[in-house]
Chain A
């Protein structure tokens, strides 16, 4: 049903010739006229290290929407610039281990080896959750099939807004090979039925790949630097699963949630020696302090942290809230900003395209009323490839959506 609606929307989008997602006919429409900016001027710009550029900055964009220069704002704003004097400009947020837009369903359990399962095959860019993600400043997501087998499938990285022809905007189709030794990956019918069984499959897969045999995609994870992500329910699951990767010289990413995060500090040696990366979360307000302290602990060992979220139309700010809670329990604010942008892009393998405001990166950016780690921050505008795909000042879709007082005229706040 959802699939059908997505296709219909896609056709409608094409027929209308819309440039982006601004149409009102789509299932998850986003308010705001699509306008390409030549430059964006903002009161504060997020640096690649996660800190804020102190002076107002100007980000220039080329004709294809890539960032061509980043500089301090000058007295005269560039022609065609969108100016937000009091705005905070960040790269578009990136959610990891995400389910955004998987309206087609990606929870499969038909075989213990599902490495051919690709999340992007289930992705619907017109899904209402995807549209809500754009409005919430989440412009890209590393989407994953539910890890329900030891060889669980392939993550993909997509933009949350459809491309100009209405199709899915895929940044990287096969971003990561997913492995799981969590109980959810076990199956009494066709196995494995234990962690040892799951480990046997994971180990076998890695060792075969290391010998130049077995699954081509897993082999590519050794050869081409495709990411490997390990899911475990407990920190002990992860310890156990790390062995084969370590022997093969692969630095995997581990995805920890809930109680496993409580023991993230125990991964200190692996983080320091292997450069282990972490996908943490999602977090909720009811998580215990020990769980919320996990990302802070990993970052303090020098580990790269990205955040999983549960962004949806029902809870569009879930990613930012999770980041803010991790900050409250010890994660450095700059590391938290990176966890939603540049570090998330590194973990997803798309750091050369998105995740930071630097020359050569795509113009995927978000303007906020405050630092996005503040719970009262609101999205003012969202840009993808330099095109404004959402503008809160024009959003009349819901009473609470529109933010008055912000426009893009030089030096003015209405």
Chain B
């Protein structure tokens, strides 16, 4: 749906200039958006003047301005931009400005090999903050945000993270928008039938154990409550008995020790030994952080990304999600077209990863098939997006190409790599969008991002220039 430019008042601007905002370039909803975000009054502003924007329906909007205040976008519009002593303007000469592209599944800057599968593992802990080459390559290709999966053999692999490729004040790159963004599971996409079946059985057993662990903890809590109650009652009783007999307070204090061990000879009667048995403190189940992670997934506190390609594996993923009530995202999904209706029924989402190349382990046929898969998913009403899945240098380069080759007409490649991708990583409000109030992660392209020969000239992260292409003829920068 096409949204219309809307005139609203810039409440945070020093002069309160009226601003016409372009909703469509930023929002998937197609509804009018606010033009500006509230911000500190005296913050420095940068206005990127004379830019072209791409709306959510693929239209090109000419002659627009983007206002950056501090580290955030303050406004996007086609009318007069704020000016003043604290405002700096940069004329971009009709170049395209887009939100930074988001790779919803790209294993970049993850150093070291695969670990053993472990639910406690966090991709955030494996992210190399000082991998300058990879980060620069991502910027060069317009990518500013990535979901990095946890990887480690077959089974429950750990927890993935969403990282913005922003320079850090303490050095290096990468701020986690979410360091626990999704539980990652691999059903053994490259393994044989038996290994895959065993992996699935093990995963089900893990989730069952997690549920049993929770039940044991609940029982423990109940028993502990009961126990504490009894201890309190006993103490009260003892106190009453103690004060009734007129004995000294010293023995009474000794009798209130937790643990139920009562001082003998306080005149409480001959059934003291039986009561001691009743008040035995329940044993706490051994803590298990891995099960805690699985339980968060069961509680839908975070989605579960399951790498599955074959239809049988996808059906297993659906079965798992239905059995334990998971928020399912199927990753890879080569055969998803065959089970699209089941995916729709299970309210699952899909992230395709069609990256190919001579150096890639993936079969080239997957890109070609992914277009069919995408069509089938759209027809069945299953939300889908495209990631690179790549663990190598081509990841960022491939994102827009993969999206363009796969797209089925329900969304253009650019939308797939921005809005759809940010939805897929659960950051629709913050990433992949040009709306006021979100971090100013912007990409300046020499031409339309999909036109041959156009390239990334400049990248802004948090409103500051972090990358300028040697081929760029742009001057200045912030």
Instruction: Using CB atoms and an 8 Å cutoff, list the residues of chain A in contact with chain B.
Output: 282, 284-287, 310, 312-318, 321, 324, 327-328, 332-333, 336, 370-371, 373-376, 398-401, 403-404
Residues of A within 8 A of B355 (CB): 285
Among B432-451, those with CB < 8 Å from A are 450-451
Q: What is the CA–CA distance of A324 and B453 in the complex, to the nearest angstrom?
A: 8
Among B368-413, those with CB < 8 Å from A are 368, 371-376, 379, 392-394, 397-398, 400-401, 404-405, 407-409, 412-413
| Contact partner, B392, options A286, A313, A332, A373, Cβ 8 Å | A286
Given contacts A284-B357, A286-B357, whether A336 and B452 have CB atoms under 8 Å apart is yes
Residues of B within 8 A of A332 (CB): 453
Residues of A within 8 A of B367 (CB): 315, 317
Contact of A284 with B453 in the complex, beta carbons under 8 Å: no
Residue B359 lies at the interface, judged by CB distance under 8 Å to chain A = yes
Contact of A398 with B372 in the complex, beta carbons under 8 Å: yes
A to B CB contacts below 8 Å, 9 in the list: A286-B360, A314-B364, A314-B368, A315-B356, A315-B365, A317-B367, A327-B452, A336-B452, A371-B451
Residues of B within 8 A of A312 (CB): 364
Contact of B357 with A285 in the complex, beta carbons under 8 Å: yes
Residues of B within 8 A of A373 (CB): 452-453
5 closest residue pairs by CB, A with B: A375-B404, A373-B452, A400-B371, A314-B365, A286-B357
Residues of A within 8 A of B360 (CB): 284-286
Residue B358 lies at the interface, judged by CB distance under 8 Å to chain A = yes
| Contact partner, A285, options B365, B397, B452, B455, Cβ 8 Å | B397
Closest to A373 in B: B452
Given contacts A314-B368, A400-B371, whether A286 and B393 have CB atoms under 8 Å apart is yes
Closest to B359 in A: A286
Q: What is the CA–CA distance of A223 and B73 in the complex, to the nearest angstrom?
A: 68
* Nearest CB in chain A: distance from B401 CB, A: 5
Contact of B450 with A375 in the complex, beta carbons under 8 Å: yes
Contact of B359 with A324 in the complex, beta carbons under 8 Å: no
Residue B363 lies at the interface, judged by CB distance under 8 Å to chain A = yes
Interface of A is mostly: loop
Residues of B within 8 A of A324 (CB): 401, 452
Residue B327 lies at the interface, judged by CB distance under 8 Å to chain A = no
Residues of B within 8 A of A321 (CB): 401, 405
Q: What is the CA–CA distance of A318 and B451 in the complex, to the nearest angstrom?
A: 18
Contact of A376 with B405 in the complex, beta carbons under 8 Å: yes
Closest to A323 in B: B452
Residues of A within 8 A of B393 (CB): 286
Contact of A401 with B404 in the complex, beta carbons under 8 Å: no
Given contacts A285-B357, A375-B400, A375-B413, whether A328 and B368 have CB atoms under 8 Å apart is no
* Cβ proximity bits B38-78 to A, threshold 8 Å, 1 near / 0 not: 00000000000000000000000000000000000000000
Contact of A399 with B394 in the complex, beta carbons under 8 Å: no
Residues of A within 8 A of B374 (CB): 400
Residues of A within 8 A of B372 (CB): 398-401
Contact of B364 with A315 in the complex, beta carbons under 8 Å: yes
Residues of B within 8 A of A375 (CB): 400-401, 404-405, 413, 450
Closest to B366 in A: A314
Contact of A376 with B375 in the complex, beta carbons under 8 Å: no
Given contacts A284-B358, A373-B453, 20 further A-B contacts (CB under 8 A): A285-B360, A285-B401, A286-B358, A286-B393, A287-B357, A313-B368, A314-B364, A314-B365, A315-B368, A317-B367, A321-B405, A324-B452, A327-B453, A328-B452, A332-B453, A374-B450, A398-B372, A400-B408, A403-B409, A404-B409
Determine which residue in A313, A316, A373, A399 has the highest number of CB atoms from chain B within 10 A of its CB, and name it. Answer: A399
Q: What is the CA–CA distance of A312 and B364 in the complex, to the nearest angstrom?
A: 9
How many residue pairs at the A-B interface have CB separations less than 8 Å? 92
Q: What is the CA–CA distance of A317 and B401 in the complex, to the nearest angstrom?
A: 11
Given contacts A284-B359, A285-B356, A333-B453, whether A399 and B375 have CB atoms under 8 Å apart is yes
* Nearest CB in chain A: distance from B138 CB, A: 14
Contact of B413 with A376 in the complex, beta carbons under 8 Å: yes
Closest to B407 in A: A376
Closest to B379 in A: A399
* Nearest CB in chain B: distance from A6 CB, A: 21
Q: What is the CA–CA distance of A142 and B64 in the complex, to the nearest angstrom?
A: 48
Residue B337 lies at the interface, judged by CB distance under 8 Å to chain A = yes
Q: What is the CA–CA distance of A310 and B360 in the complex, to the nearest angstrom?
A: 15
Determine which residue in B360, B367, B400 has the highest number of CB atoms from chain A within 10 A of its CB, and name it. Answer: B367
Residues of A within 8 A of B337 (CB): 399
Contact of B404 with A374 in the complex, beta carbons under 8 Å: yes
Among B157-212, those with CB < 8 Å from A are none
Among B248-275, those with CB < 8 Å from A are none
Given contacts A284-B357, A399-B372, whether A328 and B413 have CB atoms under 8 Å apart is no
* Nearest CB in chain A: distance from B363 CB, A: 7
Q: What is the CA–CA distance of A285 and B364 in the complex, to the nearest angstrom?
A: 11
Residues of A within 8 A of B392 (CB): 286
Residues of A within 8 A of B452 (CB): 324, 327-328, 333, 336, 371, 373-374
Determine which residue in B375, B400, B412 has the highest number of CB atoms from chain A within 10 A of its CB, and name it. Answer: B375
Q: What is the CA–CA distance of A313 and B360 in the complex, to the nearest angstrom?
A: 18
Residues of A within 8 A of B450 (CB): 370, 374-376
Determine which residue in A286, A312, A315 has the highest number of CB atoms from chain B within 10 A of its CB, and name it. Answer: A286
* Nearest CB in chain B: distance from A286 CB, A: 4
Q: What is the CA–CA distance of A313 and B374 in the complex, to the nearest angstrom?
A: 18
Among B275-302, those with CB < 8 Å from A are none
* Nearest CB in chain A: distance from B388 CB, A: 9
Residues of A within 8 A of B405 (CB): 317, 321, 375-376
Residues of B within 8 A of A401 (CB): 371-372
* Nearest CB in chain B: distance from A301 CB, A: 19
Q: What is the CA–CA distance of A398 and B394 in the complex, to the nearest angstrom?
A: 29
* Nearest CB in chain B: distance from A78 CB, A: 30
Determine which residue in A285, A316, A376 has the highest number of CB atoms from chain B within 10 A of its CB, and name it. Answer: A285
Contact of A314 with B451 in the complex, beta carbons under 8 Å: no
Q: What is the CA–CA distance of A284 and B356 in the complex, to the nearest angstrom?
A: 7
Contact of B364 with A286 in the complex, beta carbons under 8 Å: no
Q: What is the CA–CA distance of A313 and B363 in the complex, to the nearest angstrom?
A: 12
Contact of A374 with B451 in the complex, beta carbons under 8 Å: yes
Q: What is the CA–CA distance of A374 and B454 in the complex, to the nearest angstrom?
A: 11
Residues of A within 8 A of B376 (CB): 399-400
* Nearest CB in chain A: distance from B122 CB, A: 28
Contact of A285 with B379 in the complex, beta carbons under 8 Å: no
* Nearest CB in chain A: distance from B60 CB, A: 14
* Nearest CB in chain A: distance from B360 CB, A: 6
Q: What is the CA–CA distance of A404 and B409 in the complex, to the nearest angstrom?
A: 9
* Nearest CB in chain B: distance from A366 CB, A: 16
* Nearest CB in chain A: distance from B408 CB, A: 6
Q: What is the CA–CA distance of A125 and B360 in the complex, to the nearest angstrom?
A: 29
* Nearest CB in chain A: distance from B436 CB, A: 30
Closest to B450 in A: A374
Q: What is the CA–CA distance of A316 and B365 in the complex, to the nearest angstrom?
A: 9
Closest to B392 in A: A286
Residues of A within 8 A of B357 (CB): 284-287
* Nearest CB in chain B: distance from A22 CB, A: 21
* Nearest CB in chain A: distance from B141 CB, A: 9
